[in-house]
Amino acid sequence: MLRLVLRRLWQGAISILGASVIIFVISRLSGDPVVMLVPPDAPPSMIAEIRAQYGLDQPLVWQYLLFLGHALSGDFGNSYRWQMPALQLILDRLPATIQLAACGLLFSVALAVPIGVLSAVHRGGWIDRIGRVFAMLGQAMPAFWVGLLLILVFAVQLNWLPAFGHGTPAHVVLPAIALGWYPVAAQTRIVRSAMLDVLDSDHIRLSRALGTPERLIVWKYALRNAAVPLLTMLGVYFAAMLGGAFVVETIFAWPGVGRTVVEAVFSRDFPVVQAGVLFTSILFVLSNLLVDLSYGLVDPRIRDVR
Partner 1 sequence: MKSWTIGLAAASLAALPLAPVHAQPSGTLTVGLAAEATIMDPTRSSAGVDQYFFGQMFEQLLRTDPELKQVNWLAESWALSEEGGKPVITVKIRPGVTFHNGDPVTSADFQYGMQRQQDPKLSRFSHLLNAVESFEIIDTLSFRLRFKEGDGSFITSNLHLWAMPKRHIERVGEEEFQRNPVGTGPWKFVSRTVKEELRLEAYEGYWNRQHRPGVKNLVVKIIPEDLTRVAAYKTGAIDWIDAVPPASAAEFSKLENTSTVTAVTGNNLFLNFATHLPNSPFNDVRVRRAAAHAVDMDAIIKRVLFDQGERYTQVGRGTPGHDPELKPYPFDPRRARALLAEAGHPRGFEVPCYNLTTPREPNIKEMGEAVYAYLSAVGIRCQIRQLEYGAWINLGRRDAPPEMDGVVSWMWSHGLPGDPGTPWLGHMHSYQAGRGLGSYSYTDNPEMDALLRQQQTTMDPAKREELLKQIARIKHDQVLGGLPTYRPMVTIAWRTSKVAFKPWPGPGFWRNFQEIGLK
Partner 2 sequence: MVLQVENLHTHLHLKRGILRAVDGVSLSVGEGETLGLVGESGSGKTLTGLSLLRLLPKGSGRIVEGSIRLDGQELTTLPEAAMAQTIRGRRIAMIMQDPMTSLNPVFSIGDQVSNPLRNHNIAQGAALRSKVVEVLTQVRIPSAEKRLGDYPHQFSGGQRQRIVAAMAIGCTPRLLVADEPTTALDVTIQVQIIALLRQIQADTGTGIILITHDLGVAASLCHRIAVMYAGRIVETGPVRRIYKSPSHPYTQALLAAIPRLGEKRSRLQAIPGQPPSLIDPPTGCRFAPRCPARMEKCAEQPPIVQLADGHEAACWKLA
Using CB under 8 A as the binding criterion, the count of chain residues that bind partner 1 stands at: 46
Closer of 40 and 124 to partner 1 (Cβ): 40
Using CB under 8 A as the binding criterion, the count of chain residues that bind partner 2 stands at: 23
Which stretch, 150-158, 166-174, 250-258, 293-301, contacts partner 2 (CB under 8 A)?
Answer: 293-301
- Residue 29 engages partner 1 in binding (rule: CB under 8 A): no
Cα angle: 231, vertex 177, 283; to 5 degrees: 45
Kindly calculate the radius of gyration of the chain based on its CA atoms and give it in whole angstroms.
Answer: 24
How many beta carbons lie within 10 A of that of residue 44, not counting itself?
7
Which of partner 1, partner 2, none is residue 43 near (CB under 5 to 8 Å by kind)? partner 1
Which of partner 2, partner 1, none is residue 184 near (CB under 5 to 8 Å by kind)? none
Q: Residues 46, 56, 236, 290: which binds partner 1 (CB under 8 A)?
A: 46
Closer of 165 and 213 to partner 1 (Cβ): 165
Q: Residues 44, 124, 169, 300: which binds partner 1 (CB under 8 A)?
A: 44
- Residue 301 engages partner 2 in binding (rule: CB under 8 A): yes
What sign for the dihedral angle of Cα 277, 280, 286, 289?
Answer: negative
Binding mask 59-88 for partner 1 (x = CB under 8 A): ----------------------xxx-----
Q: How far is Cα 269 from Cα 81, in angstroms, rounded to an integer?
A: 7
Q: How far is Cα 38 from Cα 139, in angstroms, rounded to an integer?
A: 42
Nearest distance in Å: CB 185, partner 1: 25
Q: How far is CA 217 from CA 117, 208, 209, 233, in A?
A: 12, 7, 11, 24
65 membership: H or E segment, kind and range: helix 60-72
How many beta carbons lie within 10 A of that of residue 121, not counting itself?
19
Contact set for partner 2, span 28-87 (CB under 8 A): none
Are 164 and 253 in contact by the 8 Å Cβ rule? The answer is yes
Q: Residues 15, 250, 292, 293: which binds partner 1 (CB under 8 A)?
A: 250
Which of partner 2, partner 1, none is residue 32 near (CB under 5 to 8 Å by kind)? partner 1
- Residue 304 engages partner 2 in binding (rule: CB under 8 A): yes
DSSP 90-134: HHHTHHHHHHHHHHHHHHHHHHHHHHHHHHHHTTTSHHHHHHHHH
Binding mask 215-244 for partner 2 (x = CB under 8 A): -x----x--xx-------------------
In which region does residue 82 sit, left (phi positive, over 0), alpha (psi from -120 to 50) or beta (all else)? alpha
- Residue 169 engages partner 2 in binding (rule: CB under 8 A): no
* HSE of 256, CA atoms in CB hemisphere, 13 A: 33
Q: How far is CA 172 from CA 105, 235, 253, 254, in A?
A: 12, 21, 11, 9
What is the contact surface with partner 2 in residues (CB under 8 A)? Answer: 201-214, 216, 221, 224-225, 298-301, 304
Query: Where along the sequence are the contacts to partner 1 (CB under 8 A)?
Result: 30-33, 35-46, 49-50, 53, 81-83, 89, 92-93, 148, 151-152, 155-156, 159, 162-166, 250-253, 255, 259-260, 266-268
